[in-house]
Chains A and B, each alone.
Chain A
Amino acid sequence: DTAVSQTPKYLVTQMGNDKSIKCEQNLGHDTMYWYKQDSKKFLKIMFSYNNKELIINETVPNRFSPKSPDKAHLNLHINSLELGDSAVYFCASSQAPPTGYRGYTFGSGTRLTVV
Protein backbone atom coordinates (compact mmCIF):
# COMPACT_ATOMS: atom_id res chain seq x y z
CA ASP A 1 0.00 0.00 0.00
CA THR A 2 1.29 3.43 -0.94
CA ALA A 3 1.65 5.59 2.18
CA VAL A 4 1.23 8.99 0.52
CA SER A 5 -0.29 8.88 -2.93
CA GLN A 6 -0.77 11.74 -5.34
CA THR A 7 -2.83 11.91 -8.48
CA PRO A 8 -2.19 12.55 -11.24
CA LYS A 9 1.49 11.79 -11.62
CA TYR A 10 1.74 13.95 -14.73
CA LEU A 11 -0.43 16.88 -15.73
CA VAL A 12 -0.08 18.87 -18.94
CA THR A 13 -2.46 21.76 -19.40
CA GLN A 14 -2.84 25.08 -21.14
CA MET A 15 -2.37 28.50 -19.64
CA GLY A 16 -5.50 29.87 -18.06
CA ASN A 17 -6.97 26.50 -17.16
CA ASP A 18 -7.94 25.40 -13.65
CA LYS A 19 -6.62 22.11 -12.34
CA SER A 20 -6.50 20.07 -9.15
CA ILE A 21 -3.98 17.69 -7.65
CA LYS A 22 -5.15 15.18 -5.08
CA CYS A 23 -3.23 13.69 -2.17
CA GLU A 24 -4.18 10.92 0.21
CA GLN A 25 -2.27 9.32 3.07
CA ASN A 26 -3.02 6.09 4.90
CA LEU A 27 -0.50 6.55 7.70
CA GLY A 28 -2.93 7.96 10.24
CA HIS A 29 -1.03 11.25 10.28
CA ASP A 30 -2.80 14.43 11.30
CA THR A 31 -0.62 16.89 9.37
CA MET A 32 -0.28 17.22 5.60
CA TYR A 33 1.80 19.50 3.39
CA TRP A 34 2.30 20.75 -0.12
CA TYR A 35 5.79 21.48 -1.40
CA LYS A 36 6.80 22.91 -4.76
CA GLN A 37 9.99 21.94 -6.58
CA ASP A 38 10.86 24.45 -9.27
CA SER A 39 12.86 23.99 -12.46
CA LYS A 40 16.10 24.46 -10.53
CA LYS A 41 15.01 21.66 -8.20
CA PHE A 42 14.62 24.01 -5.25
CA LEU A 43 12.04 22.68 -2.77
CA LYS A 44 9.86 25.02 -0.78
CA ILE A 45 6.84 24.51 1.39
CA MET A 46 3.58 26.03 0.22
CA PHE A 47 0.94 24.96 2.71
CA SER A 48 0.43 22.82 5.76
CA TYR A 49 -2.76 21.51 7.34
CA ASN A 50 -3.12 20.04 10.80
CA ASN A 51 -6.38 18.28 11.54
CA LYS A 52 -7.97 20.06 8.57
CA GLU A 53 -6.84 23.45 9.82
CA LEU A 54 -4.51 25.59 7.70
CA ILE A 55 -1.41 26.33 9.76
CA ILE A 56 1.17 27.32 7.18
CA ASN A 57 0.47 29.49 4.17
CA GLU A 58 3.70 30.65 2.66
CA THR A 59 3.89 33.44 0.12
CA VAL A 60 1.89 31.70 -2.56
CA PRO A 61 -0.37 33.39 -5.13
CA ASN A 62 -4.00 33.17 -4.12
CA ARG A 63 -4.64 31.27 -7.36
CA PHE A 64 -3.46 28.30 -5.29
CA SER A 65 -6.06 27.03 -2.87
CA PRO A 66 -5.55 23.97 -0.69
CA LYS A 67 -8.50 22.05 0.64
CA SER A 68 -8.50 19.36 3.29
CA PRO A 69 -11.84 17.53 3.50
CA ASP A 70 -10.48 15.25 6.22
CA LYS A 71 -7.19 14.39 7.90
CA ALA A 72 -6.27 11.85 5.26
CA HIS A 73 -6.72 14.10 2.23
CA LEU A 74 -5.20 17.35 1.06
CA ASN A 75 -5.97 18.65 -2.40
CA LEU A 76 -4.42 21.54 -4.28
CA HIS A 77 -6.52 23.55 -6.69
CA ILE A 78 -4.85 25.98 -9.03
CA ASN A 79 -6.80 28.63 -10.93
CA SER A 80 -5.76 30.45 -14.07
CA LEU A 81 -2.60 28.46 -14.57
CA GLU A 82 0.51 30.34 -15.69
CA LEU A 83 3.70 29.14 -17.34
CA GLY A 84 5.58 29.77 -14.09
CA ASP A 85 3.41 27.25 -12.29
CA SER A 86 5.20 24.48 -14.12
CA ALA A 87 6.93 22.47 -11.42
CA VAL A 88 6.81 19.26 -9.47
CA TYR A 89 4.40 19.39 -6.54
CA PHE A 90 5.00 17.07 -3.62
CA CYS A 91 2.54 16.15 -0.95
CA ALA A 92 3.80 15.01 2.45
CA SER A 93 2.35 13.95 5.77
CA SER A 94 3.49 13.58 9.36
CA GLN A 95 2.31 13.66 12.92
CA ALA A 96 2.66 17.06 14.55
CA PRO A 97 6.26 18.22 14.94
CA PRO A 98 8.63 17.80 16.56
CA THR A 99 7.82 14.14 17.15
CA GLY A 100 6.17 14.06 13.76
CA TYR A 101 9.47 14.51 12.01
CA ARG A 102 10.20 10.86 12.67
CA GLY A 103 7.50 9.86 10.23
CA TYR A 104 7.66 12.69 7.68
CA THR A 105 6.72 10.98 4.41
CA PHE A 106 6.63 12.38 0.88
CA GLY A 107 4.49 11.35 -2.03
CA SER A 108 6.04 10.62 -5.41
CA GLY A 109 5.18 14.02 -6.84
CA THR A 110 3.00 15.48 -9.58
CA ARG A 111 4.80 16.98 -12.54
CA LEU A 112 2.73 19.91 -13.79
CA THR A 113 3.55 21.35 -17.19
CA VAL A 114 1.74 24.47 -18.35
CA VAL A 115 1.93 25.15 -22.09
Chain B
Amino acid sequence: AQSVTQPDIHITVSEGASLELRCNYSYGATPYLFWYVQSPGQGLQLLLKYFSGDTLVQGIKGFEAEFKRSQSSFNLRKPSVHWSDAAEYFCAVGRNDYKLSFGAGTTVTVRA
Protein backbone atom coordinates (compact mmCIF):
# COMPACT_ATOMS: atom_id res chain seq x y z
CA ALA B 1 0.00 0.00 0.00
CA GLN B 2 1.19 3.46 -0.66
CA SER B 3 1.10 6.25 1.84
CA VAL B 4 1.95 9.89 1.94
CA THR B 5 3.30 11.51 5.09
CA GLN B 6 3.50 15.18 5.84
CA PRO B 7 5.31 15.24 9.18
CA ASP B 8 4.51 18.86 10.02
CA ILE B 9 0.90 19.55 10.94
CA HIS B 10 1.40 23.28 11.41
CA ILE B 11 4.22 25.65 10.49
CA THR B 12 4.44 29.31 11.42
CA VAL B 13 6.80 31.48 9.44
CA SER B 14 7.53 35.20 9.34
CA GLU B 15 6.75 37.14 6.21
CA GLY B 16 9.86 37.28 4.05
CA ALA B 17 11.38 34.18 5.61
CA SER B 18 11.94 30.93 3.77
CA LEU B 19 9.55 28.00 3.94
CA GLU B 20 10.06 24.28 3.55
CA LEU B 21 7.30 21.72 3.76
CA ARG B 22 8.17 18.06 3.99
CA CYS B 23 6.57 15.17 2.18
CA ASN B 24 7.55 11.50 2.28
CA TYR B 25 5.91 8.69 0.39
CA SER B 26 6.07 4.94 0.33
CA TYR B 27 5.72 3.32 -3.06
CA GLY B 28 7.78 0.74 -4.87
CA ALA B 29 8.17 2.51 -8.17
CA THR B 30 8.62 6.15 -9.09
CA PRO B 31 5.33 7.81 -8.34
CA TYR B 32 3.72 10.87 -9.82
CA LEU B 33 4.10 13.64 -7.23
CA PHE B 34 2.06 16.76 -6.66
CA TRP B 35 1.75 19.69 -4.32
CA TYR B 36 -1.58 21.43 -3.94
CA VAL B 37 -2.55 24.53 -1.97
CA GLN B 38 -5.93 25.22 -0.46
CA SER B 39 -6.77 28.68 0.84
CA PRO B 40 -9.51 28.93 3.48
CA GLY B 41 -12.86 28.03 2.00
CA GLN B 42 -11.38 27.48 -1.43
CA GLY B 43 -10.69 24.56 -3.72
CA LEU B 44 -7.42 22.85 -4.56
CA GLN B 45 -4.89 24.66 -6.67
CA LEU B 46 -2.01 22.77 -8.23
CA LEU B 47 1.36 24.31 -7.31
CA LEU B 48 3.62 21.90 -9.16
CA LYS B 49 4.08 18.29 -10.17
CA TYR B 50 6.86 15.83 -10.87
CA PHE B 51 6.64 12.96 -13.31
CA SER B 52 10.20 12.42 -14.49
CA GLY B 53 13.35 14.23 -15.54
CA ASP B 54 14.90 17.09 -13.62
CA THR B 55 14.34 16.44 -9.96
CA LEU B 56 14.00 20.13 -9.13
CA VAL B 57 10.60 21.33 -10.22
CA GLN B 58 9.46 24.91 -10.50
CA GLY B 59 5.86 25.78 -9.85
CA ILE B 60 3.56 28.74 -9.56
CA LYS B 61 3.73 31.52 -6.96
CA GLY B 62 7.49 31.12 -6.57
CA PHE B 63 7.38 27.57 -5.20
CA GLU B 64 9.75 24.78 -6.07
CA ALA B 65 10.08 21.17 -4.99
CA GLU B 66 12.82 18.61 -5.12
CA PHE B 67 12.35 14.90 -5.67
CA LYS B 68 14.86 12.75 -3.82
CA ARG B 69 14.45 9.12 -4.68
CA SER B 70 16.91 7.91 -2.03
CA GLN B 71 14.87 9.60 0.68
CA SER B 72 11.44 9.00 -0.86
CA SER B 73 10.81 12.69 -0.40
CA PHE B 74 9.30 15.56 -2.36
CA ASN B 75 9.79 18.67 -0.24
CA LEU B 76 8.28 22.01 -1.15
CA ARG B 77 10.19 25.26 -0.73
CA LYS B 78 9.74 28.97 -1.14
CA PRO B 79 12.60 31.42 -0.56
CA SER B 80 10.50 34.29 0.76
CA VAL B 81 6.91 33.88 1.89
CA HIS B 82 4.17 36.43 1.50
CA TRP B 83 1.18 36.85 3.78
CA SER B 84 -0.97 35.43 0.97
CA ASP B 85 0.87 32.09 1.26
CA ALA B 86 -1.02 31.33 4.47
CA ALA B 87 -3.01 28.23 3.53
CA GLU B 88 -3.20 24.47 3.75
CA TYR B 89 -0.68 22.55 1.67
CA PHE B 90 -1.17 19.00 0.48
CA CYS B 91 1.30 16.57 -1.00
CA ALA B 92 -0.21 13.89 -3.23
CA VAL B 93 1.02 10.75 -4.93
CA GLY B 94 -0.38 9.00 -7.98
CA ARG B 95 0.42 5.55 -9.26
CA ASN B 96 -0.59 3.89 -12.51
CA ASP B 97 -4.17 3.66 -11.34
CA TYR B 98 -6.82 6.29 -11.19
CA LYS B 99 -6.47 7.80 -7.76
CA LEU B 100 -4.37 10.34 -5.96
CA SER B 101 -3.40 9.62 -2.36
CA PHE B 102 -3.07 12.74 -0.25
CA GLY B 103 -1.07 13.53 2.83
CA ALA B 104 -2.85 14.94 5.85
CA GLY B 105 -1.80 18.46 4.98
CA THR B 106 0.35 21.16 6.56
CA THR B 107 -1.20 24.41 7.76
CA VAL B 108 1.04 27.40 7.10
CA THR B 109 0.57 30.55 9.15
CA VAL B 110 2.43 33.69 8.14
CA ARG B 111 3.12 36.29 10.80
CA ALA B 112 3.86 39.89 10.01
CB distance from A76 to the nearest CB of B (A): 16
CB of A42 within 8 A of CB of B105, answer: yes
**Cβ B102 vs Cβ A109 within 8 A:** no
Contact A40 B98 (CB under 8 A): no
- Residue pair A45, B88 in contact (C-beta under 8 Å): no
- When A41-B88, A42-B104 are in contact, do A33 and B43 touch as well, CB less than 8 Å? no
A interface size (C-beta, 8 A): 23
Cα distance, A43 to B90, chains bound together (Å)? 9
Given known contacts A42-B102, A90-B44, A97 and B96 CB-to-CB distance under 8 angstroms: yes
Contact of A98 among B46, B90, B94 (CB under 8 A): B94
Are B102 and A44 touching (Cβ within 8 A)?
yes
Residues of A within 8 A of B98 (CB): 31, 33, 48, 50, 55-56, 96-97
The answer for the CA separation of A50 and B97 in the assembled complex, in Å, is 11
Bound-state CA distance A101–B46 (Å) is 12
22 pairs, A vs B, C-beta closer than 8 Å: A33-B98, A41-B38, A41-B105, A42-B102, A43-B102, A45-B99, A48-B98, A48-B99, A55-B98, A56-B98, A56-B99, A90-B44, A96-B98, A97-B94, A98-B51, A102-B49, A104-B34, A107-B43, A108-B42, A108-B43, A109-B42, A109-B43
> Which residues of B line the A interface, CB within 8 A?
32, 34, 36, 38, 42-44, 46, 49, 51, 88, 90, 92, 94-102, 104-105
Interface residues of A (CB under 8 A from B): 31, 33, 40-45, 48, 50, 55-56, 90, 96-98, 101-102, 104, 106-109
